[in-house]
Structures are given as C-alpha cells and as structure tokens.
C-alpha cells in the first residue's frame, strides 16, 4: 500500500511536527559529518515554502546518565540546520514544558522551531535514573509531543525499525501522518527491492559477521537471483566449505555450521570469493593476493582479491536491481580498500546502464560516502539496523505508523 507523502498534506498555517534523523557524529561539541542534516532539508524546506510551521526534532546518541546529557546536547545541530537552510531556527533547550509549548503556539507560518534531544526523555535527572520513556514509546510522552502540532511527518528512517514516542507515539495521537521525502526514497528503493525487484536482482553482502545478518541472508536467498559474499564474513562461509582460512577473522563453530546450512539451502545462489588480500598482521602494509585454497596458517585475509572482483563483475553484468550491505574488506586501510572501491565502481557502472543500485546503510554507506561514490549510485540508505530489517521484509513501525494514501 502506498504511503502518504508530505506533499500530500495541506500544511499551510499548520504546525507540522517533523521527526528527522539528526543523529550526527560529533567531537567535542563539533559536528564532523552533516550528511544527515542535509538529507532532511528537502522536507523541512517544502513545509516552510508552503506556509507550514515546522517543528523539528531528533534524537542524538544514547542518554543513560548525566554525562550523556552534556555530551549529547543537540543545540549545535540546530545551529548547523540554521546555516544550511539559511533561515532562523528557534531552538528550545527542553523536551517539554511551558517554554516549548509557548514557542510552538507563537510559531508563524514559514518559521522553524527545533527542540532538545528527544532521548533526554530516556533519563530522569532528578532520580539519576534511566527511564527510556522516549525509546520505549511511553504513551503519555507521545501524546504530549503530538499536542504541540497539527500533523506529523516522519522523515527518520534510521529509527523506523523501533517504535518510539517520537514516531509511533506521536502518530497514534494526531489526525494525519505522512512520510518525508527522505523516508519516501527508502520506501521506494529498499521497499521496492523487497516487494517487487526488477530482475536480475543481485545482492552483495559484506561486513564482519554472518551472525549479524542471518535474517537478511535468508530473506535474500528467497528474493535475489544471486548473493555475492565478501568482507570478513566470507571466511566463515569458506571454512564451512572446508577451506583453511589461516588467521583470518572467523566466527565460532555454530556459525560455521549455520553457514554450511545456508550454502546448502542456497542451491548455488551464494557466490564466494576465489581469492583474498592477505597480510601476516592486522596493519596497513602491502598485502599479497592468495587463492582461497592457498592460505598459510598465519595468513590473515583483509580484503577480497582481484580475481574475486572479476567474478563479481561477471555475476553483476546485466543486473537491474543491486543491493549492497557491508564493505568487502578493511576499507579504512588504503592497502585493503580495493575490494570496496571495486564494488563501488561496478555499482556506478550499472547505475549508468539504468540499474537500480542501493547501498543499504551502515559501513558500506560510510565507505561509499568517504570514497566519493554517493552521487554515482541510485540510493544510499540512511539507516543501519533499519535497512537490514527492511531488507529482511520486516514491517517497520516507523513506516507502518504513516497513513496510507
């Protein structure tokens, strides 16, 4: 069922509650990457351009103690939003109370109000106790925040896999809800890959652990035509195939057995690396390409090898839908970034050929951003855990709570 989008709402003169994902990395109170703020700008801009009163809010980090309150003050994020949108942003240093209520009432059409970190509601300062009112969807809190506005727009995909007071709680207490433009893209691309992929449909999985991605692997074996495996998780699969993986990172036996079962179930759909870049230590020094059947006891695999990239290129040739989650190696080390860069290149080429290419959040998204490929693929997801659960085909509370068209 298609969901309502912010552009379906009549926002003129209405107080529009906008849940965004401004959970940005910060160091000593300074934002080190404002990508998530930029990603939410189209939705906020649409609301104010159309005469709405934008009430913007987000979580930032986890708040379990008094130190977390100081560390995760969202005021610098409000300041950065003001700079990016080139319009004043009134900031209220509270998550409830008279100051916030008055600011919401006094807000004029075309203006922006932002309030403090929603996760402050997860900690009771008076009792010095974690309460999790926001993250566990306290009914009273959701109702209170809903009372500040007229309609609700959810544009925070990163938290869509969790029912919280700031998404499901608010949606349950307002007359109309819609997805923001960013959430709309996630529904279109990842939801499309799950529900109705254009074939051939190829999935690429990397990262460190099979155990982290059991659900998504099983779901992709049902949906995808091929599943290409790289990253450290490849060694768990290779060990399941009977290969000696040397000193490479490999999960314990129960997950090796699980990988063996997945390979049997896959019936040829899973494609494993044929070589890897190895080193004798976990360090950024030049490695050696070795076939997967030629590892010495002290060889540590840190990236897929050049022959594997050739295999992957053949498997991806002609693909119409490609989903990638998890880097191919330790891309932070320049000597072991070639596999991840190579996959980025393959996706960029397929995008030019008209394929739908989707990077499913987390480390692979970070890699694509850092390596300069963000504009060369169809979509980079803003969610980590949310992306994985959506790829599994799970119904996400933050999407379910949005009204259908």
pLDDT, one tens digit per residue, over 40-62 is 999 999 999 999 999 999 999 99
For residue 261, is it within any domain? yes
Looking up tokens 């659900």 gives 215
Query: Is 199 assigned a catalytic role?
Result: no
**Full strand arrangement of the beta sheet holding 288-291:** 288-291, 275-279, 300-304
Q: How many domains does the chain have?
A: 2
Q: Is the pTM of this model over 0.85?
A: yes
Helix residue ranges per DSSP H, 65-196: 66-71, 75-85, 98-106, 139-146, 170-171, 181-186, 192-195
Same structural domain, 378 and 231:
yes
Query: Is 36 assigned a catalytic role?
Result: yes
For residue 402, is it within any domain? no
Same structural domain, 144 and 230:
no
Structure confidence at residue 304 (pLDDT): 98
For residues 224-253, average pLDDT: 95
Distance separating alpha carbons of residues 311 and 324, to the nearest angstrom: 16
Instruction: Spot the catalytic one: 362, 383, 384, 398.
Output: 362
Helix residue ranges per DSSP H, 23-88: 35-49, 66-71, 75-85
For residues 356-364, average pLDDT: 85
Structure confidence at residue 72 (pLDDT): 95
Distance separating alpha carbons of residues 328 and 314, to the nearest angstrom: 17
For residue 192, is it within any domain? no
Instruction: Spot the catalytic one: 385, 393, 394, 400.
Output: 385
Q: Is residue 29 predicted with pLDDT exceeding 90?
A: no
Same structural domain, 215 and 354:
yes
Helix residue ranges per DSSP H, 228-305: 233-240, 253-266
Number of Cβ within 10 Å of residue 284's Cβ equals: 15
Reported in sequence order, the residue ranges of 93-162 that DSSP labels E, i.e. its strands, are: 112-115, 123-124, 129-130, 151-154
Band the pLDDT of 111: cuts 50, 70, 90. Answer: very high
Q: Are 351 and 357 in contact, with CB atoms under 8 Å apart?
A: yes
Last residue of a domain, one of 142, 158, 184: 184
Same structural domain, 169 and 136:
yes
- pLDDT digits 0-9 by tens, 261-314: 999 999 999 999 999 999 999 999 999 999 999 999 999 999 999 999 999 999
Same structural domain, 20 and 63:
yes
Max distance between CA atoms of the chain, in angstroms, equals 71
- The lowest-confidence range among 144-153, 281-290, 389-398 is 389-398
Structure confidence at residue 66 (pLDDT): 94
Q: Is residue 97 predicted with pLDDT exceeding 80?
A: yes
Q: Residues 364-387, buried b or exposed e (16+ Cβ, 10 A)?
A: bbbbbeebebeebbbbbbbbbebb
Structure confidence at residue 109 (pLDDT): 98
Q: Is residue 199 predicted with pLDDT exceeding 90?
A: yes
Instruction: Spot the catalytic one: 36, 53, 213, 223.
Output: 36
The CATH code of the domain that includes 86 is 3.40.50.1260
Band the pLDDT of 193: cuts 50, 70, 90. Answer: confident
Residue 266, classed as helix, strand or coil, is helix
Distance separating alpha carbons of residues 244 and 154, to the nearest angstrom: 48
Same structural domain, 202 and 280:
yes
Q: Are 59 and 23 in contact, with CB atoms under 8 Å apart?
A: yes
For residue 403, is it within any domain? no
Structure confidence at residue 35 (pLDDT): 87
For residues 333-346, average pLDDT: 96
Structure confidence at residue 1 (pLDDT): 59
Nearest alpha-carbon partner for 15 in 89, 113, 117, 98: 113
Q: How far is CA 115 from CA 54, 55, 101, in A?
A: 11, 8, 11
Query: Is 29 assigned a catalytic role?
Result: no
Structure confidence at residue 210 (pLDDT): 87
Q: How far is CA 392 from CA 97, 198, 218, 292, 383, in A?
A: 40, 17, 8, 29, 14
For residue 12, is it within any domain? yes
Same structural domain, 105 and 240:
no
Structure confidence at residue 137 (pLDDT): 97
Query: Is 372 assigned a catalytic role?
Result: no
Same structural domain, 299 and 354:
yes
Q: How far is CA 23 from CA 78, 119, 125, 316, in A?
A: 12, 11, 22, 34
Instruction: Spot the catalytic one: 64, 87, 90, 209.
Output: 209
Same structural domain, 132 and 261:
no
Last residue of a domain, one of 184, 206, 221: 184
Q: Are 79 and 29 in contact, with CB atoms under 8 Å apart?
A: no
Q: Is residue 352 predicted with pLDDT exceeding 80?
A: yes
Residue 380, classed as helix, strand or coil, is strand
Same structural domain, 93 and 144:
yes
Last residue of a domain, one of 121, 150, 184: 184
Radius of gyration of the chain (CA): 23
For residues 201-224, average pLDDT: 91
For residue 38, is it within any domain? yes
DSSP category for residue 361: S
- pLDDT digits 0-9 by tens, 72-89: 999 999 999 999 999 999
Same structural domain, 25 and 141:
yes
Full residue range of the structural domain in which residue 282 is found: 197-391
Same structural domain, 234 and 143:
no
Angle 84-88-90 (CA atoms, 0-180°, nearest 5)? 115
Nearest alpha-carbon partner for 156 in 25, 23, 11: 23
Q: How far is CA 331 from CA 58, 133, 283, in A?
A: 30, 38, 12
For residue 232, is it within any domain? yes
For residue 144, is it within any domain? yes
Q: Is residue 400 predicted with pLDDT exceeding 90?
A: yes
């Amino acid at each position: 069922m298609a969901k309502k989008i912010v552009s379906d709402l009549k926002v003129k003169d209405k107080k529009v509650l906008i849940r965004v994902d401004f959970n940005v990395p910060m160091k000593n109170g300074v934002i080190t990457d404002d990508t998530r703020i930029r990603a939410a700008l189209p939705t906020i801009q649409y609301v104010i351009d159309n005469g709405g009163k934008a009430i913007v809010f987000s979580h930032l980090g986890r708040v379990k103690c008094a130190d977390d309150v100081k560390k995760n003050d969202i005021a610098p994020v409000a300041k950065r939003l003001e700079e990016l949108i080139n319009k004043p942003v009134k900031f209220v240093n509270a998550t409830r109370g008279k100051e916030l209520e008055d600011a919401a009432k006094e807000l004029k059409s075309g203006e922006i109000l932002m309030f403090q970190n929603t996760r402050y509601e997860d900690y009771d300062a008076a009792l010095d106790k974690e309460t999790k009112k926001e993250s566990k969807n306290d009914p009273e809190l959701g109702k209170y925040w809903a009372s500040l506005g007229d309609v609700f727009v959810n544009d925070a995909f990163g938290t869509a896999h969790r029912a919280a007071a700031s998404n499901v709680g608010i949606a349950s207490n307002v007359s109309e809800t819609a997805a923001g433009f960013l959430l709309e893209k996630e529904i279109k691309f990842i939801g499309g890959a799950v529900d109705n992929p254009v074939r051939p449909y190829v999935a690429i999985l990397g990262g460190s652990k099979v155990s982290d991605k059991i659900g998504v692997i099983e779901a992709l074996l049902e949906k995808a035509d091929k599943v290409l495996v790289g990253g450290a998780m490849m060694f768990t699969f290779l060990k399941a195939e009977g290969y000696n993986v040397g000193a490479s990172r490999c999960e314990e036996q129960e997950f090796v057995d699980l990988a063996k079962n997945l390979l049997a179930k896959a019936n040829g759909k899973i494609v494993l690396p044929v070589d890897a870049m190895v080193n004798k230590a976990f360090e950024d020094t030049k490695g050696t390409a070795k076939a997967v059947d030629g590892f010495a006891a002290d060889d540590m695999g840190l990236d897929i090898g050049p022959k594997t990239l050739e295999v992957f290129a053949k498997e991806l040739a002609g693909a119409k839908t490609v989903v990638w989650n998890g880097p191919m190696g330790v891309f932070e080390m320049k000597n072991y970034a070639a596999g991840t860069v190579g996959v980025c290149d393959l996706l960029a080429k397929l995008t030019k050929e008209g394929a739908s290419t989707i990077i499913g959040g987390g480390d692979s998204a970070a890699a694509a951003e850092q390596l300069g490929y963000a504009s060369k693929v169809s979509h980079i997801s803003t969610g980590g855990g949310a992306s994985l659960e959506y790829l599994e085909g799970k119904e996400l509370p933050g999407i379910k709570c949005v009204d259908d068209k």
